[in-house]
Structure 1
Amino acid sequence: MKRYLMPCVLIACAALALRAEPYKAEWESLDKRPIPQWWQEAKFGIFIHWGVYSVPAYAPTDAANVYAKYSEHYDNRMRSNNAAFTNFHARTYGTNVTYADFATQFRAEHFDPVQWADLFKKSGARYVVLTSKHHDGFALWPSAYSPRWNAQVLGPHRDLAGELTAAVKQAGLRMGFYYSLLEWGNPLYKENIGRWVAEMNLPQMKELVTRYEPDIVWADGEWDYSDEELRSVDFLAWLYNESPVKESVVVNDRWGKKTRGKHGDHYTTEYDLVHSGSSLDTQFTHPWEECRGIGGSFGFNRFETTAHYMTSAQCVETLIEKVSRGGNLLLNIGPQADGLIPVIMEERLLDMGRWLSVNGEAIYGTTAWRHRPKNMRETKVYFTQKPDALYVICARWPQAPLVVNHIAKADSVSLLGSPLPVTFTCSDGVLTIKPPVVNPGTLPCEYAWTFKIARPQE
């Protein structure tokens, strides 16, 4: 008996040792870590850009360059003497008011974290990412590494990050933090990157993770230095091996000026761009996420009108389009400096939640269909799948039968949220759906209708 027991013990010990082997501080090792399944299935998250820049709340609304419309870049635009910003600032505040002076006006006096979390829950989002610290360096928590430039000592005099974390987790959602690796106004960042990383970035990120245990660490501001200079692999090895969220945490790909689309649990696009190149036709094989605002800015821009905001139908179609290509959508809101979420943003989120309450099974936990056509955006017909179903999502109500290639047989076809029968035929590897006759009273939702093909066979 002992002859057979010893090899079994050795095999078991080897397996345990393999599992316990830490991730090394090198990309080859870190990139082997599988992304937590919860993020793959969540599909929809809420991004929140909120800080001192919410006070001036200005950026040109009709600039040709995407990045020029970001109100959260107000501080740097002033530092670089951008004419649009300096002229606005002089007209509105005069020449004696500095960006730092806005901190006392960022009061968040009407901020209700429970109300925010309730809205996010109703939107159908599964996770939330808050700007814990943007490029201006202002921390939304009482950080020991930003002792005189944070929301506890200035403005709100509250731990905004902590309050929202508690409310979001209580609502049953995953909480995450955006963190800027750069600070425009800190001279050490430009003068000595080695000290900056050792004395600021690494300890502050560890403080944030240890204090609030976020399920997402969303880095940004990585473009000035290499990942070696930023010591990103050192932080990630700690995050994956030792941190209190090592099993659940998800990180993005912004860890050095050449890491986007190469390293990280998931890759990122921004307003359908990777840096300055379009990502719309990219066939991703790695988990990925599109981030964008409902309007043209991430931070609140009080000069945006309805013409600058996506409609609710466009918000829904944006989610569908990203998910149909295997991605997630991180949709941004920009609260006001007083802590209120603009009504138009609230309305968009609630409308998305109503749509997801009917069509969520075609979004959550789905994957991209390998036979999806390349012209989905043009036809307004999108596809997602689960092991036992194929979903055909029509951003326009079909005016003719829907033709789905590569399907030879199916058990049934139904319209999600509707009891109306749906007829279909299969012939020569093609499934044809005849949409039911509907009227405004029998449509299951206001926009984007989903036909579920049960147990399709190729």
Structure 2
Amino acid sequence: MKKILLLLVVLLFVISGYSQQYKNNWKSIDSRPVPEWFEDVKFGIFIHWGVYSVPAWAPANADIGVYAKYSEWYWSRINDNSDAGKLFREYHNTMYGEDFQYQDFAPQFKAQHWDPEQWAELFKRAGAKYVVLTSKHHEGFTLWPSEQSWNWNSVDIGPHRDICGDLTKAVKDAGLHMGFYYSLYEWYNPLYHNNLEKYVDDHMIPQMKDLVNSYKPDLLWTDGEWDHPSEKWKSTEFLAWLYDDSPVKNSICVNDRWGKETRSKHGGFYTTEYDLVHEGQKGEIQKAWEECRGIGTSFGYNQMETPDNYMTSDALIDMLVAKVADGGNLLLDVGPTADGRIPAIQQQRLFDIGDWLQLNGEAIYGTRKWNDADENKHDNVYYTRKGNDLYVLCTRFPESSIEIKGIKKVSNVNLLGFNGEVNYKKSGKKVTINIPQLSPLTNPSEYAWVFKIENAFK
């Protein structure tokens, strides 16, 4: 009996010790590895959808910088005196009148044509493995029935639906990972401006814990951190809870936007946005990282964008290849309309990416950066590695042979999707791939082409 009691005491001690594994400081929080699933998935879908989807406007072609073209910043822009703000305000006053308040858009955000299952199937067909929904942008409007956002959420007004809950179910049923974007700050919340500590304690942290406890996401993507250092946001305190005591403590991933000093320094995976790297250079990053951007110039839907503002399918696939080859993920944004439809041009881009991934996905999913890639530079050629296999990804079809150094052994070389033979020559630790002649009938891809070198590192 004494032995049993002793074992129980030891077990309780171990459990207690584990629950305190992560402490309230960055050294401890940063010691937690990014869960491996995040580095395996490589391609995800970002969704910016909210009250800003009603005016859905930004000057897409104005020379005002990248960030000033974000339609989701509509409320803030109509109230600032920047060059961008003047354009937003002129449009707003002309279209709606000076007395029309941003809050008056909320009842028009109806989502009447929204089908979460259709969205989930679209994202799955696109080859995405995870989804990140804006649960709350800087406007403070939540897409779930948050107690802290009474009458400023998607259940009390507008769609009258728990968008976070409905989409979470659809995405998880489709076999994808589900995550949430969450803005730490809010532009016009009086509590945020008058009593930051109370805002953090009584509004922000309860909302984040509610998201985690209610929907059990695999990813929490924070933003809006730049006004204050992480200490003021109590970020390490929240993350210690998330990693130790939350229902998703083992699987949850977070990014690096937890305070004005944290990007590319603290948190989980590092983030870049429209290729802008914050507080560091991408080449120096030794941690998991992710590029996020829209297909066009904005994250939220912008009715002013034309086909010229959207990246082509070719360019998007090339970008995916480049980010993955550099060890990162691509989180590509869609901006739905206020009634719940994803614009056809955005869907078409996703279909093309999905078709390409269906053929070439083994060179993307589960791969890692090849450390010898810099010693094997060729124009429009990238590399990924999975186990003993090396993938050679060509964003333009090669006009001549490709010589690759650092190859121990080769059992075969093939072009994914091509039934013909690929000739190669192995000499020492170097292999030369002879490029096959393709016809319209034998060409496996419209965009990037992938050569697979099997058992290159045995």
- Shorter-chain TM-score above 0.5: yes
Partner of 1:140: 143
- Residues in 2 aligned to 1:42 and 1:217: alpha-carbon distance in whole angstroms: 16
Taking structure 1 as reference, are residues 84 and 450 closer, same or farther at Cα in structure 2, changes over 3 Å only? same
- Residues in 1 aligned to 2:215 and 2:125: alpha-carbon distance in whole angstroms: 23
Whether 1:456 and 2:430 are equivalent positions in the alignment is no
Whether 1:430 and 2:420 are equivalent positions in the alignment is no
Instruction: State the Cα deviation string for residues 363-390 of structure 1 (Å, max 9, x = none).
Output: 00100000112896x8111000011100
Partner of 1:373, secondary structure, is: helix
Contact 1:408 1:426 (8 Å CA) reproduced: no
Q: 2:23 is aligned with what amino acid?
A: K
Instruction: State the Cα deviation string for residues 71-124 of structure 1 (Å, max 9, x = none).
Output: 000011112141000001111112221111110111101000000000011011
Contact 2:376 2:404 (8 Å CA) reproduced: no
Paired residues for 1:131-170 under 5 Å = 131-170=134-173
Whether 1:404 and 2:404 are equivalent positions in the alignment is yes
Contact 2:80 2:86 (8 Å CA) reproduced: no
- Residues in 2 aligned to 1:369 and 1:392: alpha-carbon distance in whole angstroms: 10
Q: 1:360 is aligned with what amino acid?
A: G
Whether 1:25 and 2:24 are equivalent positions in the alignment is yes
Cα deviation, residue 428, structure 1: 4.2
Partner of 1:287: 288
CA RMSD of aligned residues (A): 2.0
Q: 1:71 is aligned with what amino acid?
A: S
Instruction: State the Cα deviation string for residues 387-419 of structure 1 (Å, max 9, x = none).
Output: 110000000011111111222531110011121
Partner of 2:105: 102
Q: 2:219 aligns with which of 207, 216, 221?
A: 216
Q: Comparing 13-22 with 349-358, which one deviates more in the overlay?
A: 13-22
- Residues in 2 aligned to 1:326 and 1:14: alpha-carbon distance in whole angstroms: 39
Whether 1:335 and 2:327 are equivalent positions in the alignment is no
Identity of aligned residues (%): 53
Paired residues for 1:45-60 under 5 Å = 45-60=44-59
How many aligned residue pairs are there?
448
Taking structure 1 as reference, are residues 12 and 307 closer, same or farther at Cα in structure 2, changes over 3 Å only? same
Gaps of 5+ in 2: 1-6
Instruction: State the Cα deviation string for residues 202-250 of structure 1 (Å, max 9, x = none).
Output: 1111111111111100000000011000001111111111111111100
Partner of 2:221, secondary structure, is: strand
Whether 1:247 and 2:246 are equivalent positions in the alignment is no
Partner of 1:202, secondary structure, is: helix
Taking structure 1 as reference, are residues 418 and 14 closer, same or farther at Cα in structure 2, changes over 3 Å only? farther
Whether 1:306 and 2:307 are equivalent positions in the alignment is yes
Partner of 1:282, secondary structure, is: helix
Taking structure 1 as reference, are residues 21 and 110 closer, same or farther at Cα in structure 2, changes over 3 Å only? same
- Residues in 2 aligned to 1:210 and 1:434: alpha-carbon distance in whole angstroms: 55
Gaps of 5+ in 1: 1-7
Partner of 1:351: 352
Contact 1:69 1:297 (8 Å CA) reproduced: yes
Taking structure 1 as reference, are residues 368 and 105 closer, same or farther at Cα in structure 2, changes over 3 Å only? same
Cα deviation, residue 457, structure 1: 3.9
Q: 2:251 is aligned with what amino acid?
A: S
Q: Comparing 189-198 with 221-230, which one deviates more in the overlay?
A: 189-198
Q: 1:92 aligns with which of 81, 95, 103?
A: 95
Paired residues for 1:356-395 under 5 Å = 356-373=357-374, 379-395=379-395
Contact 1:48 1:130 (8 Å CA) reproduced: yes
Contact 1:401 1:434 (8 Å CA) reproduced: yes
Q: 2:149 is aligned with what amino acid?
A: S
Q: 2:46 is aligned with what amino acid?
A: F
TM-score (norm 1): 0.94
Cα deviation, residue 14, structure 1: 8.9
Cα deviation, residue 430, structure 1: 2.2
Partner of 1:447: 447
Cα deviation, residue 282, structure 1: 2.3
- Residues in 1 aligned to 2:109 and 2:10: alpha-carbon distance in whole angstroms: 59
- Residues in 1 aligned to 2:10 and 2:400: alpha-carbon distance in whole angstroms: 61
Partner of 1:417: 417
Contact 1:381 1:392 (8 Å CA) reproduced: yes
- Residues in 2 aligned to 1:299 and 1:344: alpha-carbon distance in whole angstroms: 14
Partner of 1:126: 129
- Residues in 2 aligned to 1:336 and 1:204: alpha-carbon distance in whole angstroms: 26
Contact 1:408 1:431 (8 Å CA) reproduced: no
Contact 1:106 1:337 (8 Å CA) reproduced: yes
Whether 1:37 and 2:36 are equivalent positions in the alignment is yes
- Residues in 2 aligned to 1:187 and 1:374: alpha-carbon distance in whole angstroms: 55
Cα deviation, residue 30, structure 1: 1.1
Q: Comparing 11-20 with 53-62, which one deviates more in the overlay?
A: 11-20
Cα deviation, residue 435, structure 1: 1.3
Taking structure 1 as reference, are residues 33 and 56 closer, same or farther at Cα in structure 2, changes over 3 Å only? same
Taking structure 1 as reference, are residues 371 and 184 closer, same or farther at Cα in structure 2, changes over 3 Å only? same
Partner of 2:208, secondary structure, is: helix
Taking structure 1 as reference, are residues 419 and 20 closer, same or farther at Cα in structure 2, changes over 3 Å only? same
Q: 2:197 aligns with which of 189, 194, 198?
A: 194
Q: 1:232 is aligned with what amino acid?
A: S
- Residues in 2 aligned to 1:12 and 1:114: alpha-carbon distance in whole angstroms: 44
Contact 2:388 2:457 (8 Å CA) reproduced: no
Q: 2:125 is aligned with what amino acid?
A: K
Q: 2:116 is aligned with what amino acid?
A: P
- Residues in 2 aligned to 1:374 and 1:296: alpha-carbon distance in whole angstroms: 34
